[in-house]
């Protein structure tokens, strides 16, 4: 056997060893934070080449289902799991599920009205009326009233919503449930609801696509999708009576309304008080089991959580997500110890 042949065999063996050392961590869920998670997972892999995250952006409902079934290592949701879902997870997995807030984001009302490029003002009553199917025309006084000087057409409003289980939907319907008793009793809040009216689109991408294709349409998407897609989106009147644009500052102010974060991190910040608080804002969560059988995966996941709460938070603003408040980061850092 020649020296070159021996060298080639050693090289192949080294490559095989490197490949076998790769740790693949699978996750699925929310589309809302997908741009942020993609950035994080790519950056983390570059820093730690043996750790590879595979994240399937299928919506929060799917993320909850898959982590409960044990087909992924972690889930992701923009709406916290409810008590029934948490009990179902415990019954099936024999462990608890932990909620780790990752970033803050916002839902914005996006629209496509030919000839109208200005940023519209939406009251809570107008948004509830549109999605209940009670406000049907763009020139309804509920819309024209807060928008003096804007010529709105007498065309029918084409409502677009998510077609699958979605944390973006949870945030939107949680807000509508807080500002409209009729919505709360007839439809309610959830990752999936029985919509009174409208067309469905899969993912933020699907809703964005439907609105771009349908003149006189409107719907809701996560802020980053509206920004990236160059879509027109409106201001929303908050609990203090001010029309507020979705920005890092206004979302951060909404988060500041949480004075005492619960130990399980399940909290809603929609319709938050505060003069400049954007009212359709939310935390988004990673869903991590307390028991991770594979010690290598357990270390990889807990190390990533520590990184996400430190270096990862410095990357949020570039993608139009607001970073976590420092008290929340401190509390989450302690909660990582619950993973065993």
Q: Are 278 and 237 in contact (CB under 8 A)?
A: no
Task: Please determine, for residue 53, whether its predicted confidence score (pLDDT) is greater than 90.
Answer: yes
Query: Average pLDDT over the chain, rounded to whole?
Result: 92
Residue 233 — very low, low, confident or very high, per pLDDT cuts 50/70/90? Answer: very high
**Domains parsed from the chain with CATH numbers:** 3-105+281-338 (3.40.190.10), 106-255 (3.40.190.10)
Mean pLDDT of the 8-31 span = 67
- Kindly report, residue by residue over 142-187, the tens digit of the pLDDT: 999 999 999 999 999 999 999 988 889 999 999 999 999 999 999 9
Task: Please determine, for residue 89, whether its predicted confidence score (pLDDT) is greater than 90.
Answer: yes
Task: Please determine, for residue 19, whether its predicted confidence score (pLDDT) is greater than 50.
Answer: no
Task: Please determine, for residue 9, whether its predicted confidence score (pLDDT) is greater than 60.
Answer: no
Task: Please determine, for residue 2, whether its predicted confidence score (pLDDT) is greater than 60.
Answer: no
Alpha-carbon distance of 169 to 35, in angstroms, equals 18
Beta strand 121-122 with 235-237 is: parallel
Phi-psi sector, 133: left (phi>0), alpha (psi -120 to 50), beta: left
∠ at Cα 75 (194, 184), nearest 5°? 25
Task: Quote the pTM value.
Answer: 0.84
Mean pLDDT of the 187-214 span = 93
Please list the residues that pair with 283 across neighbouring strands: 104
Residue 16 — very low, low, confident or very high, per pLDDT cuts 50/70/90? Answer: very low
Q: Are 172 and 207 in contact (CB under 8 A)?
A: no
**Given this model, what pLDDT does residue 260 score?**
85
**Given this model, what pLDDT does residue 14 score?**
43
Task: Please determine, for residue 87, whether its predicted confidence score (pLDDT) is greater than 70.
Answer: yes
DSSP string, 166-187: -HHHHHHHHHHHHH-HHHHHHT
Mean pLDDT of the 9-24 span = 57
**Given this model, what pLDDT does residue 1 score?**
54
Task: Please determine, for residue 106, whether its predicted confidence score (pLDDT) is greater than 90.
Answer: yes
**Given this model, what pLDDT does residue 32 score?**
84
**Given this model, what pLDDT does residue 13 score?**
43
Task: Please determine, for residue 258, whether its predicted confidence score (pLDDT) is greater than 50.
Answer: yes
- Kindly report, residue by residue over 278-337, the tens digit of the pLDDT: 999 999 999 999 999 999 999 999 999 999 999 999 999 999 899 999 999 999 999 999
**Given this model, what pLDDT does residue 17 score?**
46
**Given this model, what pLDDT does residue 320 score?**
85
Alpha-carbon distance of 297 to 168, in angstroms, equals 29
**Given this model, what pLDDT does residue 204 score?**
86
**Given this model, what pLDDT does residue 109 score?**
98
Mean pLDDT of the 121-128 span = 98
């Amino acid at each position: 056997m020649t020296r070159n042949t021996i060298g080639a065999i050693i090289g192949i063996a080294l490559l095989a060893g490197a490949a076998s050392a790769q740790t693949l961590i699978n996750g699925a869920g929310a589309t809302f934070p997908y741009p942020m998670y993609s950035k994080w997972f790519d950056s983390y892999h570059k820093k730690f080449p043996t750790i590879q995250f595979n994240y399937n952006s299928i919506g929060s409902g799917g993320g909850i289902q898959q982590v409960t079934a044990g087909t992924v290592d972690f889930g992701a949701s923009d709406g916290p799991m409810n008590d029934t879902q948490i009990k179902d997870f415990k019954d099936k997995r024999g462990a608890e599920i932990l909620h780790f807030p990752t970033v803050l984001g916002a839902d914005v009302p996006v629209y496509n009205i030919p000839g109208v490029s200005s940023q519209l003002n939406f009251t809570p009553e107008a948004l509830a009326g549109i999605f209940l199917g009670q406000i049907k025309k763009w020139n309804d006084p509920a819309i024209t009233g807060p928008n003096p000087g804007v010529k709105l057409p007498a065309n029918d409003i084409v409502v677009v919503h998510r077609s699958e289980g979605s944390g973006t939907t949870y945030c939107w319907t949680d807000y509508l449930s807080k500002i409209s008793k009729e919505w709360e009793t007839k439809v309610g809040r959830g990752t999936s609801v029985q919509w009174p009216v409208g067309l469905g689109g899969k993912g933020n991408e699907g809703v964005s696509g439907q609105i771009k294709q349908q003149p006189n349409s409107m719907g809701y998407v996560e802020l980053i999708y509206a920004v990236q897609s160059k879509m027109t989106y409106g201001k929303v009147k908050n609990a203090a009576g001010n029309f507020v644009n979705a920005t890092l500052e206004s979302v951060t102010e909404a988060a500041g309304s949480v004075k005492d974060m619960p130990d399980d991190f399940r909290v809603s910040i929609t319709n938050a008080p505060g003069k400049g608080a954007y009212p359709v804002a939310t935390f988004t969560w990673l869903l991590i089991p307390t028991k991770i059988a594979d010690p290598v995966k357990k270390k990889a996941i807990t190390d990533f959580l520590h990184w996400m709460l430190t270096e990862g938070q410095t990357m949020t603003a570039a993608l139009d997500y607001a970073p976590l408040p420092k008290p929340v980061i401190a509390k989450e850092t302690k909660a990582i110890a619950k993973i065993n």
